[in-house]
Amino acid sequence: MRTVINIFLLNLTLSDLLTVSFNATFNFVFMLTGHWPFTTTYCHINNFINNLTIASSVFTATVMSIDRIELQLIENRDIRSKKGKI
């Protein structure tokens, strides 16, 4: 269970859950009421958490892609080596 891809998926899941719980919920209230019923401080905190979680999701997806490409390159290199002739 503690493989690299599972840790990446856990990180991606947590950042998406934080996005939904902190950003979507409060922005939904804002869209329903037409004004921000929370404090100005929480508005700044909400925007910071939103940017942080989206950046975390994008960064994790990028690292997962790079990890997958490296894995495929290593497999292809082993197949083309002298020991792994086709």
Could you report the per-residue pLDDT of 29-86, keeping only the tens digit for each?
999 999 989 999 998 998 999 999 999 999 999 999 999 998 888 877 665 555 655 5
Residue 69, token pair as written in the block: 């490409």
DSSP 42: H
pTM value is 0.73
Sign of CA dihedral 48, 54, 58, 60: positive
